[in-house]
Chains A and B, each alone.
Chain A
Amino acid sequence: MRRFALIAIPYFWLLALFLVPFAIVFKISLSDIALSIPPYLPQLDLAKGWEGFTKFLGALDFENFEFLMMDDLYYKAYLSSLKIASISTFLTLLIGYPIAYAMTRAGEEWRPTLLMLVILPFWTSFLIRVYAWIGILGQEGFLNQTLMFLGLTSEPLIILNTPIAVYIGIVYTYLPFMILPIYSALEKLDNSLLEAAEDLGCSRITAFWLVTFPLSRGGIIAGCFLVFIPTLGEFVIPSLLGGSNTLMIGKVLWDEFFSNRDWPLASAVAVILLLILIIPIILFQRNEQKQRESEG
């Protein structure tokens, strides 16, 4: 009995606050916009009994989804999000891997400090750090001031409100997510494997590509998922740094919900986004499981 309670508490919590909300989102995506509170119809009124329920089901339709398919905006936004997420993930990998690798090459006494330095940004406000970039990337921002002061550019670079700023913002925010799994995978690497590779004729670089890199694959995959999946739905960074030029589905969802007050349509956008994400999420979980098993 005690075992049941132990399992049930977190289980039901997650069911109620994680899974059930998705069902509600799905239901609302099938509803129509209305001038009511809440602004959608039909609404389930259990008092009306079975008849009320069947009438409720009858009023649901896939209208919103049809609209999504037809209107250009959404299709473009999904594609744009996929493109931005892919490129950002790749950039984060490019920048994060050398950092994680250098961390493992540092002396033992440095490790705890370096790890702390990577984790510390998690403890600060994400919003404020992104705001800081506005001040840095603007036309009169810190970056341009420094570049002009150093004489490297004669005119201010336009970075803010372009996709470049979004890339910078995303890489900046998600870098620790990439560094940590790669670091953890590299740390487990047995140094004698590299010595063996060298002994058998590899140069340092060849040893890296033939031994270190393949063996860190699990960490790389975990890191990429940890960046790609949330980035797909990002809306804060494109809103603050990307301006109207950058189209991302998260922003579209936000606008539908708050500006247009079209909850059913916003829900439909969310449902499609979720469907796109299901496969990556499952793959992510599988990879995590594989990592856990290889550890034990």
Chain B
Amino acid sequence: MSEALRPVFAPWNDPDEKPLIQFKNVTKRFGDFTAIDDLTIDIFEREFFALLGPSGCGKTTLMRMLAGFETPSEGTILLSGQDIAPIPPNKRAVNMMFQSYALFPHLSVWENIAFGLKREGIKGDALNGRVDEMLRLTRLERFEKRKPHQISGGQRQRVALARSLAKAPKLLLLDEPLGALDKKLRQDTQFELMDIQEKTGTTFVIVTHDQEEAMTVASRIAVMDEGRMIQVDTPARIYEAPNTVYVADFIGDVNIIDGRATPSGEQVQIAWGEGMSDITGTTDASFEKGDQVHLAIRPEKVSISVEKPDDTPNAFQGKVVDIAYLGNLSTYHVEMPNGQIIKAQSANTRRISRRAITWDDTVWISFTATAGVLLKR
């Protein structure tokens, strides 16, 4: 199937699509502290929506408001068009997977999963069938009689997931679900989560501080800071087209170059240091002459070479002060004449002894006019 024919999942772009969750000017205060500040966002069905940000940015508070453990100080939250503020957590079609898993230690795996179903009055064959289905979905059939302390961390995580999916909620909230797992297990589980989400068609909202995780699983990421959503976009756009220095810096590695703009035709000239030629960049935004501008450019888009490259608009000479060797890549820290360090990344296509560039070498770094993003703030 060619790219053009494969349907792209983007309900946020569809004007006919009605959102599952709507936050309308929601503010949440704890005493003097404002955790969520006038937040408005729509989340659509079948999305895997990630709330990403540092500790204290409000992502967990947002999720707890969806679950019903906190109520907004101002504003409304709608679930399928209904105001959910008066509905207590035990009556919402929302389930949560806790960071600590919160498995009931006195109940077996089977009973943990059946817990929510029993509260609805489901009994007998219907109950058994559903629990078995969940056990199969999370590959836990062998452990159904065990208690939480008798299984491993990864298995407990799956029990927590099965338990929260058992009632087939419209919305599933995941609070840093993979934090306690080691890296390899985390990666495997990320794909499992995406699989399960697609299979069950549930809307997932995940809270995480791990940007790699957000980039991997999410259909859209909301980068948050101090109670606000700074940017809400697909992972690709967040990475390639951040709207602020904050977002650019938060996701992945980035070079931020500050300078003064001088628009020239379609392009913008950026003066960024004494005695250094201007950087040429392109942008969709409009800048006035003399505007403060930030150029965000990813290290992998900065080439490094021993000789000066021709026909690249931006080429600057500098000295290698540090090399971070990561096995598959190397990141070179190159010091510019004005003292700023630019990071250039390249794949290690040659074995270590044969590499041309090493510490203290004089090198040329270069990038195209479209390689970076020009940001106002």
Residue ranges of A at the interface with B (Cβ–Cβ < 8 Å):
190, 192-193, 195-203, 206, 210-211, 214-215
Contacts and interface: CB of A to CB of B under 8 A. Distances in A.
A190 B106 CA distance: 13
Most chain-B Cβ atoms within 10 A of its Cβ — which of A192, A201, A215? A201
Given A190-B100, A214-B106, 6 more contacts: A192-B98, A195-B96, A196-B102, A199-B90, A200-B90, A201-B120
B105 A200 contact: no
A202 B119 CA distance: 7
Interface string B148-169: 0000000000000001100100
Contacts of B89: 195, 198-199
Contacts of A203: 90
Interface of B: 67-69, 88-91, 94-96, 98, 100, 102, 104-106, 115-116, 119-120, 163-164, 167
Contacts of B90: 198-203
24 contacts: A190-B100, A192-B98, A192-B102, A195-B96, A195-B102, A196-B102, A197-B104, A197-B115, A198-B68, A198-B88, A198-B90, A199-B94, A200-B90, A200-B95, A200-B115, A200-B116, A200-B167, A201-B91, A201-B119, A201-B167, A206-B119, A210-B115, A211-B104, A215-B106
B320 to A, nearest CB: 50
Nearest to B99: A192
Contacts of A215: 105-106
Q: Which of A199, A206, A214 has the most CB of B within 10 A?
A: A199
A108 to B, nearest CB: 16
Given A199-B90, A199-B95, A193 B119 contact: no
Contacts of A202: 90, 119
A272 to B, nearest CB: 38
A214 B116 CA distance: 17
Contacts of B94: 199
Contact of B102 (A193, A201, A214): A193
A214 B102 CA distance: 15
Contacts of B164: 199
Contacts of A211: 104
A2 to B, nearest CB: 37
B133 to A, nearest CB: 17
A195 B167 contact: no
Contacts of A200: 90, 95, 115-116, 119, 163, 167
Contacts of A195: 67, 69, 89, 96, 98, 102
Contacts of B100: 190, 192
A203 B94 CA distance: 15
A196 B160 CA distance: 10
Contacts of B98: 192, 195-196
A196 B164 CA distance: 9
A193 B104 contact: yes
Closest 5 CB pairs of A and B: A201-B119, A200-B116, A196-B102, A192-B102, A198-B89
Contacts of A198: 68-69, 88-90
B160 to A, nearest CB: 9
Nearest to A214: B106
Most chain A C-beta atoms within 10 Å of own C-beta, residue among B88, B91, B119: B119
Contacts of B67: 195, 199
| B102, B106, B116, B164, most chain A CB atoms within 10 A | B102
B216 to A, nearest CB: 26
B62 to A, nearest CB: 16
A150 B102 CA distance: 51
Contacts of B96: 195-196, 199
Contacts of B104: 193, 196-197, 211
Contacts of B95: 199-200
Nearest to A191: B102
A201 B116 contact: yes
Contacts of B119: 200-202, 206
A202 B106 CA distance: 17
A192 B94 CA distance: 16
Contacts of A196: 96, 98, 102, 104
A193 B115 CA distance: 12
Interface centre among A196, A202, A206, A211 (most CB of B within 10 A): A196
Nearest to B95: A199
Contacts of A210: 115
A215 B88 CA distance: 24
Contacts of B106: 214-215
Nearest to A193: B102
A171 B100 CA distance: 39
A215 B115 CA distance: 16
B130 to A, nearest CB: 13
A223 to B, nearest CB: 18
A211 B107 CA distance: 9
A130 B71 CA distance: 50
Nearest to B94: A199
A209 to B, nearest CB: 12
Nearest to A192: B102
A215 B105 CA distance: 8
A195 B96 CA distance: 9
Contacts of B91: 201
